Amino acid sequence: MAEKELICSSCKKRVTNASGIARFKCPKCSKSEIIRCMHCREIAAKYTCHECGFAGPN
């Protein structure tokens, strides 16, 4: 039972099964998946790609 946990890339909270989250590939390297919870989307919190160091949002 190794269900993958979804962790918000900005606040590091677990957002598995949370509503209103956004998941998308890093716009720069497309290697890692960025996950943002509804709260971080609302406040436009920054995220950083752990593969290439790209920081968003944009």
Identify the three-state secondary structure at position 14: strand
Q: Residue 35, interface with Zn ion (CB under 5 A)?
A: no
Q: Residue 28, interface with Zn ion (CB under 5 A)?
A: yes
Phi/psi at 39 (nearest 5 deg)? -60, -45
Q: How many chain residues interact with Zn ion (CB under 5 A)?
A: 12
Q: Residue 18, interface with Zn ion (CB under 5 A)?
A: no
Q: Residue 44, interface with Zn ion (CB under 5 A)?
A: no
DSSP string across 21-47: -EEEE-TTTSSSEEEE-HHHHHTT--E
Q: Which residues of this chain interact with Zn ion, rule CB under 5 A?
A: 8, 10-11, 26, 28-29, 37, 40, 49, 51-52, 54
